[in-house]
Each structure stands twice: as structure tokens, then as C-alpha cells.
Structure 1
Amino acid sequence: MKLISYFLHRQAQLKFWIIVCVLIANKCIAQPIVSVQQPSFKTDTFNILSYGAKADGLILNTKSINDAITACNKNGGGVVLVPKGFWLTGPLVLLSNVNLHVAKDALLQFTSDKDQYELVAGNYEGLPAYRNQSPLSANGAENIAITGEGIVDGNGGAWRAVNHKKLSEMEWKKLIASGGIVNADSTQWYPSKNYLQGSQTKNAGVIVSGKTAADYADIKDFLRPNLLVFTKCKKVLLEGITFQNSPAWCLHPLMCEDLTVRNVYVKNPWYAQNGDGIDVESCSNVLIESSTFDVGDDGICVKSGRDEEGRKRGMPTKNMEVRNCVVYHAHGGFVIGSEMSGGAKDIYVHDCTFIGTDIGLRFKTTRGRGGVVENIYASNINMKDIVNQAILFDMYYAGDPSMKDGIPQVETKPVTAATPVFKDFYIDNVVCNGVSKAVFIRGLPEMHISNINLTNLVMQADKGIDCNEASNIHFKNVQLVTKETSPVINVFNSDTVLFDSISYNNNAAVLLKLSGGKTKNIHLINTDTNNAQKTVTFNAGAKESALIK
């Protein structure tokens, strides 16, 4: 068993370092790892002024801008120009071969008049659902873009509920004065009674056989649109634009091919409910580079459908690269899940910085999702002031198991198509200055998280490493500067875990705590155990033979 474990570890290391070498080589020549086809456009320009648009912030320019898009499309494509100025509009639909160019000093402001947005069949949080029409949408289009240095504003404040505790008293009073309703205990503001009714409706908006959009009219306000939804589109470019203030998610490419997001700034209030930056769902050949995210939920997120609907679709997000990006406030800097039932694979994240996010690298799922997430590579990641965990793998996103005497009370369930799988992750060169916990891994007793390789980490954290229900986990060259030193590392019901070249605080109380009767084949090598008052403790059925030095 020891020999098999050794060779498995060496094989994983070899694969990891091959990828690292590729990343280094590509960085030197500044070329993307993933090949993505770029759109191209005729130089013909269709100025929205020629179609009757007025930049007075009063008149709705919906027809004028859509007419310009249609004319551009019918004439073989080109550029639809939104010149500098304040342009109020309703929903816009992008067509093939059109580059919607929002010029510098242009503000494309979507109206707060919800009557301008029809209820349409779409997809939200991985399920088919009726939603208000997105301010920006495209369906089945090819060779499309939104470019420029202007601002696209979704007027999200008109759509979102707000929690009292997330605002100052002055902000709260101003919000109440704007209209809407407040719940009985003054903890939540709602834009309307219609919205409140929707918030109390189970599976609101989810499409049910025999129902039409008209059946959802009484909760229309609650069915907030994503700012941009491109569905089944090919050769898509988003470049240079500031996208801000989305009603729900900001950017949502769904089942698209050859997507490039470059030099965009995605901005939402930190309290924006479901205010994700970008959710790349069931897409292939994706490049996100040199972009900044400061949002109310996950920053850069990978999805592929939810539960049975996602598995039925069967379209993983794959061949994706994220590089040279910065994420400020967000629930996660780079995220996969939790709606990842169609899977995710062959994803590369490198040379990124996360500042002030709740979690840095966040991989989340739960029972019922199914789907396989594999071949995920992250390197050269800087983090500062992370609230919870720097690196998190969690298969209990739907709720934590109960605890007794510090031990999770887990239940083993049968493995089915609804059992999620996390495997084959390679994470190298992560520096984090300030975080509650350095690394947290939590699999299921029936499906361990497996083959996770973490090398060259420097973590200044309150707490060190938690590894639960996991197999073939390899830590190498990890420096832990922690406030809590009893223990520095906790392992529960995990097997074949290698700790190689671990440094930690001098005079730590306990270096390693092993718990659970299923914990075995734990290796601790090339590590000075004399720095700890006690090298290892055994708890809750863990045997001394579990540790191999």
C-alpha cells in the first residue's frame, strides 16, 4: 500500500509540474493557454442618432437602438455606435455580426419601469424559469460583441430586496422613503408587495408543465433579470465596458462557445442579493482576462446547471482560462458551483489577485447535484484580507452536518447519479496575507474529494488546515503562520494524505490532529516536528498506525 501510494503521489506531481511548465511558458510569450476564436466585424457604423435616439436621460431609446441593431444585422453586420451621452433604454437584443460599441463618456442606463420588461422563458440558477427579460440579451447569435469604454447600468436598485443590517441608518431611511414596503420587524425592505409575495413562493418562476408566463404575473417583480444573458451564442466578445448595478447576476453567458471577456469592470453594491459578477454556465472555450470584479456575491463563477436539469443538459463548462484578473468584494474570488450538475473540466486560473473576498478559491457542491469537476489548475494567486477560507472545497453547501464533541456527525448515503465528484485539482504558488482559515476540504463519506495537490503555499491565517472525508491529498512546501496552534492541521476520516515540507509556528501546541476510525495512511515527511510541543494527537477512533513518518 505504501508503494502504491508513493507512485500515485509521484504521478500526480509529474502531471502538476507539466501544467506549471506550460503556464510559465505561456506567460513568457503572453499567449492564452486556451484557444478561443475571436469575432470580427465590418467597419460599417450605425450611429443610434440616425435612428432617432436622444441623450436626454428622459426619452426611452429602446426602439431606436434595437432598430440600429436590426439594420446593422440586415446589412451584413458592423458597429452600432452609442456615442457619449446619457441614454435611457429598455431591453436590447443583440443580433449576429453586431458589435454594440458604447463610447467613452456614454452611459447606457436601463429603465426602472418594469413594464418595459416582458416575462420570458429562460434559465435562472441552473433551472428553466420565467424571468423578466434581460436588459441585454442574445439567443443563438454568432459573432457578437459589446465593446467600448462606456458604462452599462442595469438599475438594479429598483429590483432588489435589501437587508436592513447591510445599510447605515441614513441609507435605510432614504431607502424606505423611496417607496416599497418593509416587513413587520423592519429587517428587510422589498420593492413591492408583488416582490414580497414572490419571496414567499416556493420555486418562484420555475417553469411547470401547463403553465404560461401569465400564470406568474402576480410575482413578476420578484423574477429579477440578469443584466446580460447570452444563450447558445458563438464567438462572443465583451471588452472595455463597465457593467454595473445588475438586478440579479451581472454577466451570464449560457451554453456559449468561444467567449472572450477582456478589460471589463463589473461593479455591484456589496449588499446586492445574488449580485454575482460573471457566471459562465455550460460554456466551452472561454478566456477571461485583465478584468476587475467588485460585487455582491461570487466574483468569477463557473456553473453547468442544477440537479437533474443540469445532468439532463449534460454540458460541462470546459476549456476555460482566467488570467490577470482582480476581485475585490465578493463571496468568492474564483468559484465553481454550486450549480455544477453538468460538470466542469480543464479550467486554468492564474496570475490573479483577490482582496477582501469572503473566500479566495471556492469549490462548492452538495448532495443532489451530481456532476464531475476535474482537471482544475490554479497558480500564482495573491490574496489579502480574506474573510473565511483562502482555499475551500466543500460538498455540504446545502448545510453543515451536526457536530458532537467537535466531530462531524456524518451519514453515508448510496452513490447515485446525484452524487457530486470533485477530483484532480492542482494548486500552486498561493500567497495569502490575512484569512480566518488557510485550507478547508470537506467531502462526503460516500464520495471523498480526491487527488488534490497543493504546493508552495504561504498562509498567514487564524487557523491552519482542515481535511475531512478526502483521499489522495498532497500538501508540499506549505508555510503556515497561524494564531491557533492546537492543532495546526486537522484530519478527519481521510486516507492517503501527504504532508511534505510543512513549516509552522515555533512551539506550536499540536501540529497534527487525526480523528475518525477511517483515517489512515497519513504521511508526514521533510518536516521539523521539534517545533511542536506535541507532534500528533489521535481522537474519535483514529489509530496510531494511521500516521506514517
Structure 2
Amino acid sequence: MKQITGSFCRTKIALTCILISAACSAIAQQKQGLPVIQQVKFKADTTSITRFGAKGDGLFLNTQSINKAIEAVSQKGGGVVLIPSGLWLTGPIELKSNVNLHLKRDAILQFTDDFTQYKLVQGNWEGQPAWRNQSPISGVNLQNIAITGAGIIDGNGGAWRMVKKDKLTETQWKTLVASGGVVRADGKMWYPSEKTVKGSNTKNAGVIEPGKTAADYEDIKDFLRPNLVVLTGCKKVLLEGVTFQNSPAWNLHPLLCEDLTLRNLQVKNPWFAQNGDGVDVESCKNVLIEGSTFDVGDDGICIKSGRDEAGRKRGVPTENVIIRNNVVYHAHGGFVIGSEMSGGAKNIWVYNCSFIGTDIGLRFKTTRGRGGVVENIYVNNINMIDIPGEAILFDMYYAAVDPVPLAGEKREAIKTVTVPVTEATPQFRNFYIKDVVANGAEKAIFFRGLPEMNIKDIHLENVTVQSKKGVEIIEASNIFLKNVKVITNDTNPVVRVQNGTNININGLQYKNGAELLFDITGEKTKGVKITGTDVSKAQKTSAFATGVNQSVLEISK
């Protein structure tokens, strides 16, 4: 009894620290003019899942015990549901209002690989309403909820996900194939089951269609992988201290939530995990993500707001977001907006973050058909090393492929056409990025807008990148680069501008002896102004494509 009491006291002390930390954070944010995120508060009442018959032996299925504990605590006004030391096997868990699910440091909550435990439910996948397997942890229209502690939540994702052969070593591939499952005819993809194979070959698999029920999707059920944690329409949410790992798809997916705090988390997925995002904040308001580490198989920290017509119809942007003091290791992008951003995104602050080995550092992606406006994005104090792709990327031709091609993979060049502007035309505007350092990247900075809707009003200041290639600006307007230093291996050219208008470059620094400083192409290019830049260090200052008037480039001290 003394041991249990001591454990509960330590839990109370941990909760007190959470409240103090939240209060200090709110005061600091008010002083900086940043949005203030309302915090959770729980009764000092702790209930262990063992009181409801739970067993931490890795064999007993604890689904009913854990859910009964959560329900009981919520019914009596809330408090802490404790996951003590042990390996706790379980099926889907449903959170309830005013409950803090708290994991001890030596607790592992692992979700079963028995797919029959996960019923098909109407949810959301990549910004569209869809049938999915029930998420391991979920909550709908809740208030004042949390998952805290220092334990591990494991989604058993290996049982669900397909794997590309090219992403494994020969030994890993042979071991995977020997475990069972199905190998595609060309030998390049492994699937856990025949249902997964059929789902992968089904167009718009899982998308909700009128008149169809869950039974109509049973033959592709295994393909409809769940996200590890899905919280929908919840207010005052805290995720703190826990390790979330090995999700079948996205790890953390808050949707239509308000006052959301993610603090000091470890979020992990294998690097080869398709759709293995770290966190996807979708159509949420008032969000704080801080002090966390991500090492995943897709985008690390990602902002979304719905896809295409469904996202525009919802019409709820992600707004008032603070992202600070985080580290992202392997991921398709360190900090990402899109590509499902049809409801818009605005008023987002990202600072004091490090990206290590992410395919792209700062990644802003969309495509025709999305619609939506992304604006008022403030990024500063970002450090990166070993970026295989672009350090900073704006791309309005996102094609739903890995950002860095695999060995031998061939991709067709983008065919540029102009189409009418409609509500389905996306927009990127008003970005302010400063104090960025990247050591090692394929390309320093890349802008690619649409001919009918340029990327607009982007400000980059105090940016230093060591990369193979320099800066490329395509279909962009009102671009301001101040004190940008690009040390590149390929200096032919350092900066390429294609159909750019009002491009202002002040204080550009580059490798001494560069072959070509500025390459100007595109008949719509005009107003390229260079100031405060020593052009004499380049072998050749500028080159112009046929049909481009040399007067579009103006160089002055």
C-alpha cells in the first residue's frame, strides 16, 4: 500500500509541475504578442487501471479494463488514469473528458496486431471523409483531456503497413518476406495481406460514398490503416512527455481542436513507413508544439486544413500556432504546410528548431485543386544539417511522391500551362523567414508557383546555406532576399529566375569565382533588382534567355 501511495504522490507532483510550466509559458507568450493557449486542469485523484482487472504481462488484452477505468474516472468528475509499470496489450482506447491518461516511465502500452479488434468507422484520411480502422487512441468532442507521463505508446504499425523493397537492406527484405504476407508481382513491394493488396489497387480506397456501409469496405479493411492518435473536435488538450511510436499511419492527428499543447514528446516511426507522419495539425486553433523530438517516415511537423472541395467546404483554417524548440531527425520535411491545406493556414510562428537529415527543411507544398490561402507565416532561428533535398522549398506542383527520388527512379519534368483562377487555386503569401543556417543540402532555396497564381510576398533574411545548388525562383512575385549567403558546388548559376516579377536581392554572398551569378529566363520576368552585392567575384554576372530583355535585371550598389 505504501508503494502505491508513493506512486500516486509522484503523479500529483508531476501534474503540479505541468500546471506551473503552463502558467509560465502563458505569461511569456503574452509578453511576446503570441497567441495564448489555454491549458488543462485535472482533479488530484489517481486511479490505476489495475483496479479494473488490467494485467501488464504482454498477453492479457486490456481493452475493457482501460476503457472502464477511463469511463469511471470521467463519470466522477475526472482525474488521472494511471498506466503503471508493465507491458499492457490492448485494443482501441477511447478517451473521455476531464481525464489524464498518465504512463509511468517503465510502462509500455502496445496495441494489438489482431485487426478484428479495430472496427471500421467513419473518419478522415488526408483531408477527406473516409472509412478507416478505428484509431488505437481516439476522442471526439471532448474537453480537458491529456496523455502524459514518460512511458511508451506503441501502435504495432509493422503489422499494418506495406513496405518498398528499395527502402530495406537485402537482409531486412528477406526477413520481412519470410514473415508472411504478399509480394507484388514485380517484387518491389511487400503487403501484410491480400486485403491490403486489393486496397492499394482500389481508386479512392475508403472514401465515403452515399449508400455504402462499413460492410462494403470489408474486402479492403486491412489497407485502411489507422492513425495512432486521432482527436476530433476537442478543446483543451495536452500531450506531454510520452513516446508515441510505430504507428500504422500518422502518429498524431488533432482535427478541429482548440487549445492544443504538445510538449516534450518523442514521436517515432521507421524511416521507410509510408504516411508515417509525426504530427498533422488539421483545422485547429491555438496550438503549441514545443520541446519535442520527431524521427519519422514522412513529414515531421505538419500543418493541414482539409483536401480540395471537402476542405474548402469545411472552411476551417489552422491558425494561431506556435512551434518552438523542437528537433526533427529523419522526415520528408522538418516543418511542413500542406499539401492538404484547402481550408487555409495563418498566423503561425516557428522558431528555435533543428532539422537533421530531413529530406527537406522548410517545406511548403500544394497543388491545383486544393484552393486555400496560406499566409502570415513567421519562421526564425532554424538550424539544419545533411538535407538531401531543398533547405527551403515552396512548391505549388506537389505530386504526392517522396521528395527525394530513390536510386534509378525517373520523374517527368513539369509541363507548365496556365489555367483560369478559381476557388480551387491555392495561394502562398506573406512568409517571413530569417536567421536560418543549413550545412549540407541539394539545393539552397526553391520557389515554384503557378503561372496563374504566383507565390507572393516572401521575405528571407540572414540565411546561410552550404549546398550543391543555389537559388531557383519560378513564377514568383515580390520576393525579398536580404543577406542571403549560398555556398554552392554548382555555381552555374548561383541564382536562376524564371518568370519572376519584383525580385529584390540585397547583400547576396556566394562562392568566389562562381561561373554565373544570375540566369534570367521567362518572358514574364521583370523587376529583378540586385543591391549591396559584389558581382565582381563571379566569372560572369548574368545570362539571358532568348526573348528576355536585359533591362529586367538592375544591379546597383
Q: Does the TM-score normalized on the shorter chain lie above 0.5?
A: yes
Preserved CA contact (<8 Å) 2:29 2:35: no
1:157 aligns with 2:158: yes
Match of 2:535 in 1: 529
Aligned 1:121-132 pairs, distance under 5 A:
121-132=122-133
CA offsets 1:304-326 (integer angstroms, 9 cap, x no match): 00000000000000000100000
1:332 aligns with 2:333: yes
Match of 1:418 in 2: 424
Match of 1:297 in 2: 298
CA offsets 1:76-99 (integer angstroms, 9 cap, x no match): 000000001100000000000000
- Cα distance 1:31–1:107, how it changes in 2: closer, same or farther (>3 A)? farther
Preserved CA contact (<8 Å) 1:32 1:321: no
1:458 aligns with 2:464: yes
TM-aligned CA deviation for residue 541 of structure 1: 2.3
TM-aligned CA deviation for residue 540 of structure 1: 3.9
CA offsets 1:27-80 (integer angstroms, 9 cap, x no match): 899979321000100011111000000011001000000000000000000000
The one-letter amino acid paired with 1:464 is G
SS at the partner of 1:426? strand
Preserved CA contact (<8 Å) 2:29 2:36: no
In 2, distance between residues paired with 1:295 and 1:410?
A: 33
1:232 aligns with 2:233: yes
In 2, distance between residues paired with 1:399 and 1:519?
A: 29
In 1, distance between residues paired with 2:295 and 2:487?
A: 28
In 1, distance between residues paired with 2:169 and 2:492?
A: 39
TM-aligned CA deviation for residue 548 of structure 1: 1.6
1:189 aligns with 2:190: yes
Match of 2:78 in 1: 77
Root mean square deviation, CA, Å: 1.5
In 1, distance between residues paired with 2:522 and 2:253?
A: 42
CA offsets 1:442-484 (integer angstroms, 9 cap, x no match): 0000000000000001110101100000000000001111001
Preserved CA contact (<8 Å) 2:324 2:351: yes
In 2, distance between residues paired with 1:385 and 1:476?
A: 24
In 2, distance between residues paired with 1:224 and 1:260?
A: 25
SS at the partner of 1:457? strand
In 2, distance between residues paired with 1:392 and 1:489?
A: 15
TM-aligned CA deviation for residue 185 of structure 1: 2.2
Match of 1:495 in 2: 501
Match of 1:288 in 2: 289
Match of 1:435 in 2: 441
SS at the partner of 1:68? helix
SS at the partner of 2:70? helix
- Cα distance 1:28–1:90, how it changes in 2: closer, same or farther (>3 A)? closer
Aligned 1:54-453 pairs, distance under 5 A:
54-398=55-399, 409-453=415-459
Preserved CA contact (<8 Å) 1:34 1:287: no
In 2, distance between residues paired with 1:377 and 1:269?
A: 30
CA offsets 1:465-504 (integer angstroms, 9 cap, x no match): 0000000000000111100111100000010000100011
CA offsets 1:126-182 (integer angstroms, 9 cap, x no match): 000000000000000000000000000000000000111111122112111211111
The one-letter amino acid paired with 1:466 is E
SS at the partner of 2:442? strand
1:483 aligns with 2:486: no
1:474 aligns with 2:480: yes
Aligned 1:507-526 pairs, distance under 5 A:
507-526=513-532
TM-aligned CA deviation for residue 296 of structure 1: 0.2
The one-letter amino acid paired with 1:143 is N
- Cα distance 1:174–1:130, how it changes in 2: closer, same or farther (>3 A)? same
SS at the partner of 1:430? strand
In 2, distance between residues paired with 1:189 and 1:510?
A: 47
In 1, distance between residues paired with 2:262 and 2:32?
A: 15
In 1, distance between residues paired with 2:100 and 2:52?
A: 17
In 2, distance between residues paired with 1:529 and 1:210?
A: 66
Preserved CA contact (<8 Å) 1:121 1:131: yes
1:541 aligns with 2:511: no
- Cα distance 1:490–1:232, how it changes in 2: closer, same or farther (>3 A)? same
SS at the partner of 2:171? helix
SS at the partner of 1:230? strand
Preserved CA contact (<8 Å) 1:248 1:276: yes
The one-letter amino acid paired with 2:349 is Y
- Cα distance 1:28–1:193, how it changes in 2: closer, same or farther (>3 A)? closer
In 2, distance between residues paired with 1:92 and 1:28?
A: 34
TM-score by length of 1: 0.93
In 1, distance between residues paired with 2:167 and 2:213?
A: 36
Match of 1:13 in 2: none
In 1, distance between residues paired with 2:528 and 2:185?
A: 54
1:50 aligns with 2:51: yes
Match of 2:512 in 1: 506
In 2, distance between residues paired with 1:408 and 1:204?
A: 27
CA offsets 1:503-523 (integer angstroms, 9 cap, x no match): 111111110010011000100
Preserved CA contact (<8 Å) 2:362 2:391: yes
- Count matched residues: 519
- Cα distance 1:266–1:408, how it changes in 2: closer, same or farther (>3 A)? closer
CA offsets 1:209-230 (integer angstroms, 9 cap, x no match): 1111111011000000000000
Match of 1:21 in 2: none
SS at the partner of 2:431? strand
In 2, distance between residues paired with 1:48 and 1:257?
A: 28
In 1, distance between residues paired with 2:455 and 2:31?
A: 33
- Cα distance 1:407–1:328, how it changes in 2: closer, same or farther (>3 A)? closer
Unaligned runs of 5+ in 1: 1-25, 401-405
In 1, distance between residues paired with 2:234 and 2:507?
A: 47
SS at the partner of 1:152? strand
Match of 1:10 in 2: none
CA offsets 1:225-261 (integer angstroms, 9 cap, x no match): 0000000000000000000000000000000000000
Moved over 3 A (4+): 26-32, 406-409
Preserved CA contact (<8 Å) 1:492 1:519: yes
In 2, distance between residues paired with 1:407 and 1:157?
A: 34
Identity %: 63
CA offsets 1:376-419 (integer angstroms, 9 cap, x no match): 0100000000010000000000289xxxxx99641110000000
In 1, distance between residues paired with 2:32 and 2:428?
A: 29
